[in-house]
Amino acid sequence: MRVPTPSRFLLLGLFLFLLLLVLTASAFFTYSQVRATIEEELGERLLAVASATAAGITPETLGAVGRAPDGVAAAALRELLARVVFDTGVGDLYLFDRDRRHLLDAAGRFDAGFENPNVELHYAAATAALAGVPAASELYRVGDVYLKTAFAPVFAADGSVRAVVAAEGGASFFAGLWRVRRQMLASGALGIVAVLALTLFFSRLLRAQAVAERTLRETSALAAAGELAAVLAHEIRNPLAIISSRAERVRAKLEQDRPREEILEWFTVIPREIDRLDQTLTQYLAYARPAELQGEADLVATLQAVLGLLANDFTRKGIAVATELPSAPLAPAAVAPAALHQVLVNLLLNARDAMPDGGRLTCAVQASGGAQLRLAIADTGVGMTAEQRRRAFEPFYTTKAHGSGLGLAVVRSMLDLYGARLEVESEPGKGTRFRIHLPVAARGTRRTEGA
């Protein structure tokens, strides 16, 4: 999995930072909308109380209050205001005249005849009411209490404004909203700090990880070199075993004083396998230069050569070999002859080892659609389980007591190099079948020498 670089993580941190800002802004917008709605509803409620109270005050009552602030009419009006305060739950109700002088209030907080300080505090709303338009003040704060005042005019018979009723009230939940706002500010600030801190921390962590990955890649390169050496040693071992076997047979024939022609026939395999060793070494050294691995091979000829090379080994193991070959010449395979030889040797030796008590080996070659050649190698050996089949091509995985686990891994890597495809079918006790699909060379049907 690709690990994000520090620059990518910085971009991720910036995205989270912007996302946090958007969420915080959204929360503040919601808070502002809720606050504005509550404030509007409070203003409308106070305006309704002030307007209803103003409608119940007659000009005659106002005249009597103006002439005798401590008289019976004033007391009755003060009682009316107090009852309205009790019934509606507003904080206070008071009246002032056109000259902004205080007339009376339900709580008795101000003296009659003097200018009411609240009128100056809410000058705009009070002036609008004196002009005949009900209005409410802005929300204001007194200590820990949030208040709002609504003003409604008291009209004379001729439609002029005689006085103004003011209804003052508050809502305790505004204090709760203020605490919510402070908490939102604190949470947003902490979130921003946390995002910045995490971005810095993971940026440093990923820089350290990048250094570790670079070191790991260097180590992996050394490990790959070691693995390549192990694979190469495995590939060299097969020709060396053939050379050793042939050398022993040649020596035996010399000791038996066999005819020169028979001895030479057995000896010719030795230089051929030495040449194959040289080709194998050249091939592995040329992995970085794929052009040197190009070539064309005759599949039938190469298969017959490898079967002839291993014939005595199969006979000694009690393995019967059957071939199914096409009668007409086939187009050459787009595979280097040495590589195809190497693939077939590994597959046939693998089949041999799968039949320790003997069995039957079948090799079938046929053209497949004109663009491919197909080779099937089937044995009647011990077979593989599903797990063994899944891991068969892993380097160093083997079920043999003295196996290296590299044969099939080399086969797969070689075929992948040429765009060939390998399939395997196997069941325990029912043998194994390998199918190789080789691309046909583009140069026609010219036959090429096998390895």
Structural domains in the chain, CATH included, are 6-171 (3.30.450.20), 294-439 (3.30.565.10)
Using one digit for the tens of pLDDT, what is the confidence trace for 21-46?
A: 777 777 677 767 777 777 788 888 88
DSSP SS3 for 410: helix
The tokens for 209 are 């990880």
Residue with tokens 């704060």: 141
Q: What is the pLDDT of residues 202-243, one digit of tens each?
A: 667 767 777 776 666 555 444 545 555 665 666 677 777 778
**Which residue type occupies 176?**
G
For residues 349 and 17, which has the higher predicted lDDT (pLDDT)? 349
Residue 361 has pLDDT above 60, yes or no: yes
User: What are the pLDDT digits (tens) for 279-335?
Assistant: 666 655 544 444 445 788 999 999 999 998 888 889 989 999 999 999 888 899 999
Give the integer Cα–Cα distance in Å for 211 and 200.
17
| 3 state SS of 131 | coil
Note the pTM of the prediction, 2 decimals: 0.41
CA 436 – CA 372 distance, rounded (Å): 10
Of 10-14, 24-28, 74-78, minimum mean pLDDT range: 10-14
pLDDT at site 445: 41
**pLDDT in the model for residue 403:** 55
Average pLDDT of the chain, as a whole number? 78
What is the Rg, in whole angstroms, of the alpha carbon atoms belonging to the chain? Answer: 51
Q: Provide the β-strand partners of residue 262.
A: none
Distances (CA, A) of 251 to 237, 256, 257, 258, 267: 21, 9, 10, 10, 10
CA 209 to chain centre: 19
Burial class of residue 6 (count of CB atoms within 10 Å of its CB; 0-12, 13-18, 19+): middle
> Given this model, what pLDDT does residue 258 score?
83
Tokens encoding 20: 């946090």
| DSSP annotation string for 382-407 | ----HHHHHHTTSTT---STT--S-H
Q: In this model, does residue 266 exceed pLDDT 60?
A: yes
pLDDT at residue 66, as a whole number: 79
pLDDT average, residue stretch 328-351: 89
Q: Average pLDDT for residues 246-264, to the nearest whole number?
A: 80
Render 56-88 in DSSP notation, one character per residue.
T--HHHHHHHHH-TTSHHHHHHHHHHHHHHHHH
Structure-token pair, residue 158: 């001729």
Q: Say which residues have a Cβ less than 8 Å from residue 64's Cβ, sequence separation at least 6.
A: 71, 72, 73, 74
Torsion angles phi and psi, residue 389, rounded to 5? -65, -40
- DSSP calls for 349-367: HHHHHT-TT-EEEEEEEEE
Residue-level pLDDT at 371? 82
> How many whole angstroms separate alpha carbon 315 and alpha carbon 346?
18
The one-character DSSP state at 440 is B
- Determine contact, residues 379/341, Cβ cutoff 8 Å: no
